[in-house]
Amino acid sequence: MYSEKVMEHFTNPRNVGEIPDADGIGEVGNPVCGDLMKIYIKVKDNVIEDIKFKTFGCGAAIATSSMVTEMVKGKTIDEALKVTNKAVAEALGGLPPVKMHCSNLAADALHAAIEDYKRKKERKDVAEQK
């Protein structure tokens, strides 16, 4: 049912945890399946220098969270925004159709964290101009 890569990221997830002073936090959930994801990013010079996640959910949800963090660590904000749910699933060697919604959550959580970062940065820039 699951690829070896999905099982590897589920049993040995990368970048698990929180970043206490995160520059952006994205939280998403799917009420139908009960999966919840929270992604934390630390950004320096427009590059994601650290990323961590906490996920409550099925094996596919944990694997997609782990994979999306690996895909964007060291990437620019613009590069990270191009990561799609389809790209996450492909990087894992595919997901069963019934689990594709899990990859949607991983990309959505990443994008929410980036949007949070951008909002905070904009507020900070405005405050510094005053």
Which residues form the catalytic set? 33, 102
Handedness of CA 73, 115, 54, 108 (dihedral sign): negative
| C-alpha dist (Å) from residue 2 to 38, 100, 108 | 23, 12, 22
Classified as helix, coil or strand, 28 is: strand
Residue 106 near residue 64 (C-beta atoms within 8 A): yes
Angle, nearest 10°, between helix axes 59-72 and 4-11? 90
Classified as helix, coil or strand, 21 is: coil
